Amino acid sequence: MLMDYVAAEPWQASSLADAAALWRLGDRLRRLHALALPRFAPVDPLALLRENCAVLTACGDEDAAGWLREGAEAAARLDALPRRPPVLCHGDPDVGNFLGEGPVLIDFEYAQCADPTYDLALLLDYYPALAQRLPTLQKAMGLEDAHSRLRLPLQRALAGVVNAAWARAQRLLSRALD
């Protein structure tokens, strides 16, 4: 519906292969992270994971307990690292949420206050091939510092398990509604 009013095409996964486009995306996310933070509590990925795993457990999914354990371990390791103030994160950096050359970021349904490495972790979870371009993305996002390099693998582990549980819970809920 939005596209009826916007004269810009959504990105495709192939857009991420263009070095200049990838730099612009990283820079746009860096600028988002620099905005004044709304008065929201930081995201609790373990709460999200627990909610989705509760759905999975109710449906008899045996992976839920393992995902909870894996998520709790990654979250505990993240908590052990020095903290930095949370920033405004997009929360759903899917290429369909990037429009035009800029890109313009849309669909802030999953926006959240989190460490800026969270958006990068989500990008890498959605598009694993971006790992080959990680230094470019880190530099464009301003996340090439030692602190970010320590946090990113743990954010990736946590984002990966949260997204996997969410996707499976959504599939199960969809089947239950059919």
Predicted confidence (pLDDT) per residue in 93-148, tens digit:
999 999 999 999 999 999 999 999 999 999 999 999 999 999 999 999 999 999 99
Does residue 1 have a pLDDT over 70?
Answer: no
The arithmetic mean of pLDDT across residues 149-168, rounded, is 96
Q: Which residues contact 128 (CB under 8 A, 6 or more apart)?
A: none
CATH superfamily of the domain spanning 2-177 = Aminoglycoside phosphotransferase (APH), C-terminal lobe (3.90.1200.10)
Asked if 58 contacts 168 with a C-beta cutoff of 8 angstroms, the reply is no
The arithmetic mean of pLDDT across residues 14-30, rounded, is 96
For residue range 70-86, list pLDDT tens digits in order. Answer: 999 999 999 999 988 99
Label residue 2 by pLDDT band (50, 70, 90).
Answer: low
Q: Per-domain residue ranges for the chain?
A: 2-177
Which residue from 172, 176, 153 is spatially nearest to 52, judged by alpha carbons? 172
pLDDT of residue 145: 96
When the pLDDT of each residue in the chain is averaged and rounded to a whole number, the result is 93
